[in-house]
Amino acid sequence: AFPSLDLTPFAFTISVMVLAWALFRYRLLDLVPIAYHAVINSMSDGVIVLDPADRLLYLNPAAKQILGYEEEKEAGPRVEQLLAGYSSFLAAPLSDGVTVQEIALGEGEAQRFFTLRLLTLQEGTQQLPGRLLLLHDITAAKHTEAILVRAKELAEASNHEKSAFMAEMSHELRTPLSSIIGYTSVLQQEAEAQGDEALLDDLEKILSAGDHLLTLINNTLDLAKLEAGRMDLYLETFVLSVLVNDAVASVHPQIKLRGNTLKLEGINPLDLMRSDQTKVRQILINLLANAAKFTDAGTITLRVSRDEFWVEFEVKDTGIGMTQEQMAQVFDLFRQADPTTVRKYGGSGLGLTLSRHLARLLGGEISVESEPGKGSTFTVGLPIEVNRPNDSRTFNA
């Protein structure tokens, strides 16, 4: 009998010999470089390899097409000859091994835009002599950007014209309405003198509706001015209590109409304020009218407090209140806390939006706290003294 032999070492040797023959016979080791070369040649981005003197060593077909380079005309020119006008970029030191710039090639309708990326050549952690240039065509993106910019400019121009029209239209509406309210007030005084209670009730309704409509027109006019960047501040020093009483008198018919009680707290007849009196009054009117609209047979409290630099107006009601989600959008333009409130309570959704922007225009801010079924509290903080005469700011909805 023949002795048992372990053929494993022979099998391994034969396998290595077969693999070596296959690598040599079929050039398997050349597949990776061949694949890399095929990928680079098929790229739409331009690839340029430079030697340490910035002469061209290699350009893929896309780079040749972009730069209009024909290899047979000139051997190894410097890259500045093909990218004239960008020598400072090419000579600048690389930041973290790479630097990027947008460039334009060609003129007129044939002009194209590229992102030019300049990199060092690396093999692992070792830096090699020479550099790599990559050209990525961004012409379509630039054209799209130009179209969007133009569309934005046209939209802004159209919006400006719309705002100017709204401002003019609101002014034309306000003038006759002010006359109606004025004549109604005269008739109301005559009715009071004659003791005509039935006529007084009718005139009270006309005044209430007229004041409500005038508030809407004023809000529309002011929003149009804000959008058009034509909202100015007219600063003056005034007695705070007089302003509060004027605002309360304007809204009192609406408060009374729903059977509400108004409480005033913290009013000091000696307190002064330097600000735009009309805009402060408008903020208070909007907040009081909002409280009156959403409160039935309840209590509305206007509390005024101040320190050395700030005055705070707090309008608290016992009305329907709001959820957290509703509070998040209550200051949005043309939005109310709930769409169902529009049908039940009416309104345009302008008052609170305008109040916030007026408060910010005056250097202050407005906030809200609320709970469904328990009412809402709007708080406005304004500086006691505004020192920006004739300030003008643009509205951003």
For 72-79, what is the mean pLDDT? 61
For 61-70, what is the mean pLDDT? 83
CA distance to 65, 66, 107, 159, 187, per residue, from 69 (Å): 7, 8, 17, 49, 91
For residue 21, give the H/E element and its range.
helix 8-26
Query: Is 392's pLDDT higher than 50?
Result: no
Work out the mean pLDDT of the chain and round it to a whole number: 80
Highest mean pLDDT among 82-96, 135-149, 167-181, 193-207: 135-149
For residue 376, give the H/E element and its range.
strand 375-383
Query: What domains, with CATH codes, occur in the chain?
Result: 1-41 (no CATH), 43-137 (3.30.450.20), 140-228 (1.10.287), 232-397 (3.30.565.10)
For 337-354, what is the mean pLDDT? 64
Confidence of residue 338 (pLDDT cuts 50, 70, 90): low
pLDDT in tens, 8-52: 555 555 665 655 655 555 555 555 566 667 777 888 888 888 888
Whole-angstrom Cα distance, residue 94 to residue 120?
A: 8
Q: Which two tokens stand for residue 357?
A: 């922007």
- As a whole-number percent, the residues of the chain with pLDDT over 70 amount to 78
More confident residue, 16 or 79: 79
Q: Which two tokens stand for residue 40?
A: 């680079």
Whole-angstrom Cα distance, residue 326 to residue 376?
A: 12
More confident residue, 121 or 312: 312
Longest dimension (CA), the chain: 146
Q: What is the pLDDT of residue 131?
A: 81
Confidence of residue 345 (pLDDT cuts 50, 70, 90): low
Query: Is 360's pLDDT higher than 50?
Result: yes
Q: What is the pLDDT of residue 390?
A: 42
Whole-angstrom Cα distance, residue 96 to residue 164?
A: 52
Query: Is 300's pLDDT higher than 70?
Result: yes
Question: Other C-beta atoms within 10 Å of 391: how many?
Answer: 16
For 261-275, what is the mean pLDDT? 91
- As a whole-number percent, the residues of the chain with pLDDT over 90 amount to 24
- Of 341, 295, 337, 347, nearest in space to 317 by CA: 295
Q: Which two tokens stand for residue 290?
A: 């909002």
Highest mean pLDDT among 5-19, 119-133, 222-236, 249-263: 249-263
For 178-195, what is the mean pLDDT? 87
Confidence of residue 275 (pLDDT cuts 50, 70, 90): very high
Helix, strand, or coil here: 366? strand
Beta-strand (E) ranges in 1-125? 46-50, 56-59, 98-105, 112-123
Question: Other C-beta atoms within 10 Å of 42: how many?
Answer: 10
- In the chain, the amino acid numbered 167 is A
CA distance to 40, 115, 279, 326, 357, per residue, from 219 (Å): 63, 49, 11, 22, 11
The percent helix, strand, coil of the chain (3-state, each to 5) is 50, 25, 25
Query: Is 334's pLDDT higher than 60?
Result: no
Comparing 159-168, 324-333, 347-356, the range with the smallest average pLDDT is 159-168
For 224-247, what is the mean pLDDT? 85
CB of 361 closer than 8 Å to CB of 391: yes
Confidence of residue 389 (pLDDT cuts 50, 70, 90): very low
